[in-house]
Structure 1
Amino acid sequence: MKKLFLLSALALATAAHAQGSLSGTVTIWSWDVAAKALQSTVPDFNKKYPNVKVNVVDLGNQNVYDRGLAGCAAGGVDLPDIYSIENNEAEVFWARFPNCFTDLNTLGADKLAKAFPAFKWTELTANGKRYAMPWDSGPVAMFYRRDLYQQAGINPASIRTWDDFIAAGRKLNTKFGNKVKMATIANGQDDEWFRMLANQNGCFYFDNDASQVTIARPGCVTALTTIKKLNDAGVLAVGDWGGQITNIKAGKTASAMFGAWYEGTIRTNAPDQKGKWGVYLMPASKAGGVRAANLGGSALAIPSSSKNKEAAFAFLQHALGTTQGQVAMLKSQGLVPSLLAASKDPYVAQGQAYWGNQKVWQTILGTLGDVPQARGTQYFQDARQVMIVVQADYLKGKYKTAQEALTDAARKISSATGLPVAK
């Protein structure tokens, strides 16, 4: 009877959607450019559903997270109809408050599952329930200064592996007297390069069942070994988030590797460098290896306490489940679509003026299907804090090998989380 009831409810909801009879107010909590991007989808949504008022509230990233935790702890009190959540933090909510959010399968999300790459669902699904729908993603790309590469005699098309990247960096050092480096790494501040390289090699802090610490496995060893080679070759600068932007603006780095959302960071912070930048795929660990990874990305969830779930899900379907909605956010704020069909949109195939008229979105979105799955789990921040220190210590010579460093990291992460180290 329960299954029959859910199917009947879904049928009624679908009929209501078709007639455009949904009404009421849908309140969304989000932040910064993400909030602006959501707002850009509202006019077309209201053409379908004129009686639904969408209220996008920009609370700031940390405030959304903190108020979400507080609201769930209070049994769903004062939560919005739609809640923005970063993938890396999502499992904190599913683990601590499994009843705080709606299983979107009951509203029809299971029918949209194959419309998104598998890696985007990994952190949004628990115990067979889909707690959130994929929003933007962070397919990794290498952004580079065309002019600086040309002056150093570097052809980006020839950079296929990390060894090729190091060879190019040595050319750059020679040309500019070590005053321009290939890229900036936040060593001692973050482990984002390790996460990107580990992901491309099919490894992460934890396994996809969130049951073991897997950071000492071969793919992660390869990632950390590569970072040591890059560091020892002297082709990287070191700087935090602000330092990386400063280096870009000053022309002290010729490349930047991040999730594709960094496109907007470069474009808005260095508008005077329009036409000087291009994009190529991240190098592989070996010839013919994977040249794709993901860093960052968010999702939208519907709190169980929402009084307007069907209208909220209709908005999710429009903003996230249609090419129209996803591309509107790409145009508006540079949010990279997770929806696979969006990669076929004509806008994606257009050259972008800032990037020397290169079809950068076609290049970047073309990697979505190649990104290996990875799971942050509820312990993501615990593991990240351990790895930031271990990576920095390894580069300083505290450990003899990457394997030794990651074996120690695994032990510390296991101690912090209670999860066993994978054999």
Structure 2
Amino acid sequence: MKKLALLTALALASAASAQSLSGTVTVWSWDAAAKALESTIPSFNKKYPNVKVNVVDLGNQNVYDRGLAGCAAGGADMPDVYSIENNEAEVFWARFPNCFTDLNTLGADKLAKNFPAFKWTELMAGNKRFAMPWDSGPVVIFYRRDLYQQAGVNANAIKTWDDFIAAGKKVNAKFDGKVKMGVVANGQDDEWFRMLANQNNCFYFDNAGTSVTVNKTGCVDALTTIKKLYDAQVVATGDWGGQITSFKAGRSASAMFGAWYEGTIRTNAPDQKGKWGVYPMPANKAGGVRAANLGGSALALPSSSKNKAAAYAFMENALATTNGQVTMLKSQGLVPSLLSATKDSYVKVAQPYWGNQKVWQTILDTLGDVPQARGTQYFQDARQVMIVVQADYIKGKYKTAKEALDDAAKKISSATGLPVAK
């Protein structure tokens, strides 16, 4: 009886607390991310009926620019909840350490173990947690089942990048070089390098954010692999729009991206329903890691918010509950970071577009294997250097990947002031 009375008292206290939250919570976000957050409002209002949530879709770049301006102005004209991309997050923590609330003061430290470690890396400064993990971008290969089959390629047999290249040669032979195994944004972006480097436990910087590590062995192996793909003529070159055009036209047998690209393929090529499948990215070597991350966002709480308790409650409902994360997966295809959401029954549902494959299970099964990587506040500086160095290496301006990355390391060090790691 005493136990029952205690539980009843706790339930009543929780209900009273929920009733006490009121007012408006304004959220800044963009595009599909904004729609995803809106889809969680009904479940939030069941818990907190007196809080009105207003999600404002400002567009990705505008959210970033207005966030910088607001922080520079001491928190003026900031929302209660701010959407932020992981690789840009540390710009804010470094330049404006007082602009956002340390979520540990609201209980986020108790949620830390519920998310994979790599998702916290860029969201913390010291022991402070300035944002809560939202979606993630576990990397996989999306592939055309029909094109692979016509070329005699078995996706399940592709375990390493050498296997991928061998499969690409079969595709070249079958389609007279008119269909390629993938499209790389060489000269436009270095996303393939970042994905391959991450799976090799290497990145522009070390995880402490104190030195440049882009010329370490794992990164050298990544750039070497990209050159092998080009030398074998199994990939084409194209920017974001060119990549979409290529798979819509059936000129790409595969695409490698973060799992959020699922929605890009499905919405741009609805007529290809049933023709696509998914498998883990190839490893650098037999038995190697077949996981990486590309992209992903988080939610932060500006220090200037006048309704912090309600804002944090909204964030917690959307990001730290299985229902919130799975709702956004169903609504907009945003891949959960919350570990419990990866075990939800919906993850095991066969998806008709993907040939009735349980693609979310395939994708999310890699989440725990993703090595940590840190973009730091200098992410864009390093990225711009690598875009040029990668393109020059592919053109033959460097003899080896190590020579190219030694040069990249020097340039990144010069741009950031960080030393090149010994």
Q: What is the match of residue 258 of structure 2?
A: 259
Output the CA distance in 1 between the equivalents of 2:52 and 2:362.
36
Q: What is the match of residue 121 of structure 1?
A: 120
**Contact residue 17 and residue 314 of structure 1 kept, 8 A:** no
Alignment of 1:377-416 (within 5 A): 377-416=376-415
In the superposition, relative to structure 1, how do residues 420 and 171 fare at CA in structure 2: closer, same or farther (>3 Å)?
same
* One-letter amino acid of the structure 1 residue matched with residue 200 of structure 2: N
**1:20 Cα deviation (Å)?**
3.4
* One-letter amino acid of the structure 1 residue matched with residue 384 of structure 2: Q
* One-letter amino acid of the structure 1 residue matched with residue 161 of structure 2: W
Output the CA distance in 2 between the equivalents of 1:111 and 1:20.
23
**Contact residue 190 and residue 390 of structure 2 kept, 8 A:** yes
**Contact residue 165 and residue 229 of structure 2 kept, 8 A:** yes
SS of the equivalent of 2:19 reads: coil
Q: What is the match of residue 371 of structure 1?
A: 370
Output the CA distance in 2 between the equivalents of 1:181 and 1:43.
44
Q: What is the match of residue 344 of structure 2?
A: 345
**1:127 Cα deviation (Å)?**
1.8
Q: What is the match of residue 32 of structure 2?
A: 33
Output the CA distance in 1 between the equivalents of 2:105 and 2:404.
45
**Contact residue 142 and residue 256 of structure 1 kept, 8 A:** yes
Q: What is the match of residue 6 of structure 1?
A: none
Alignment of 1:230-309 (within 5 A): 230-309=229-308
Alignment of 1:198-209 (within 5 A): 198-209=197-208
Q: What is the match of residue 5 of structure 1?
A: none
Deviations 1:108-161 (A, max 9, x none): 000000000000000000021000000000000100000000000000000000
**1:18 Cα deviation (Å)?**
4.7
SS of the equivalent of 1:347 reads: helix
Output the CA distance in 1 between the equivalents of 2:187 and 2:15.
54
Output the CA distance in 2 between the equivalents of 1:267 and 1:214.
37
Residue 223 of structure 2 is aligned to residue 194 of structure 1: no
* One-letter amino acid of the structure 2 residue matched with residue 70 of structure 1: A
Output the CA distance in 1 between the equivalents of 2:259 and 2:72.
34
Deviations 1:225-282 (A, max 9, x none): 1111111000001000000000000000100000000000000000000000000000
Q: What is the match of residue 324 of structure 1?
A: 323
Output the CA distance in 2 between the equivalents of 1:332 and 1:255.
25
* One-letter amino acid of the structure 2 residue matched with residue 396 of structure 1: K
Output the CA distance in 1 between the equivalents of 2:103 and 2:323.
21
* One-letter amino acid of the structure 1 residue matched with residue 319 of structure 2: L
Output the CA distance in 2 between the equivalents of 1:15 and 1:197.
47
Output the CA distance in 2 between the equivalents of 1:18 and 1:248.
51
Output the CA distance in 1 between the equivalents of 2:136 and 2:39.
18
Residue 103 of structure 2 is aligned to residue 104 of structure 1: yes
The alignment of Structure 1 onto Structure 2 pairs a total of residues equal to 411
Output the CA distance in 2 between the equivalents of 1:200 and 1:27.
37
Output the CA distance in 1 between the equivalents of 2:417 and 2:323.
44
Output the CA distance in 1 between the equivalents of 2:272 and 2:21.
47
* One-letter amino acid of the structure 2 residue matched with residue 57 of structure 1: V
SS of the equivalent of 1:157 reads: helix
SS of the equivalent of 1:136 reads: strand
**1:101 Cα deviation (Å)?**
0.1
Output the CA distance in 1 between the equivalents of 2:16 and 2:335.
27
**1:17 Cα deviation (Å)?**
7.0
Alignment of 1:1-16 (within 5 A): 15=14
Output the CA distance in 2 between the equivalents of 1:368 and 1:111.
21
SS of the equivalent of 2:56 reads: strand
**1:206 Cα deviation (Å)?**
0.2
Output the CA distance in 2 between the equivalents of 1:129 and 1:16.
30
Deviations 1:334-355 (A, max 9, x none): 0000000001111100000100
Output the CA distance in 1 between the equivalents of 2:77 and 2:188.
35
Q: What is the match of residue 80 of structure 2?
A: 81
Output the CA distance in 2 between the equivalents of 1:275 and 1:48.
39
Q: Which runs of 5+ in 2 are unaligned?
A: 1-9
Once the two structures are aligned, what percentage of the paired residues are identical?
Answer: 82
* One-letter amino acid of the structure 2 residue matched with residue 276 of structure 1: K
Q: What is the match of residue 312 of structure 1?
A: 311
Q: What is the match of residue 7 of structure 1?
A: none
Output the CA distance in 2 between the equivalents of 1:415 and 1:393.
19
**Contact residue 275 and residue 357 of structure 1 kept, 8 A:** yes
**Contact residue 16 and residue 22 of structure 1 kept, 8 A:** no
**1:15 Cα deviation (Å)?**
5.0
Q: What is the match of residue 48 of structure 1?
A: 47
After TM superposition, the score normalised by the length of structure 2 is: 0.96
Alignment of 1:129-148 (within 5 A): 129-148=128-147
**1:21 Cα deviation (Å)?**
2.3
Deviations 1:298-323 (A, max 9, x none): 00000000000010111111000001
Q: What is the match of residue 183 of structure 1?
A: 182
Alignment of 1:162-177 (within 5 A): 162-177=161-176
SS of the equivalent of 2:282 reads: coil
Structure 1 residues 287-296 or 16-25, which shifts more? 16-25
* One-letter amino acid of the structure 1 residue matched with residue 395 of structure 2: K
In the superposition, relative to structure 1, how do residues 167 and 323 fare at CA in structure 2: closer, same or farther (>3 Å)?
same
Q: What is the match of residue 64 of structure 1?
A: 63
**Contact residue 24 and residue 51 of structure 1 kept, 8 A:** yes
Deviations 1:57-100 (A, max 9, x none): 00000000000000000000010000000000000000000000
**Contact residue 193 and residue 222 of structure 2 kept, 8 A:** yes
Cα RMSD after superposing both structures: 1.0
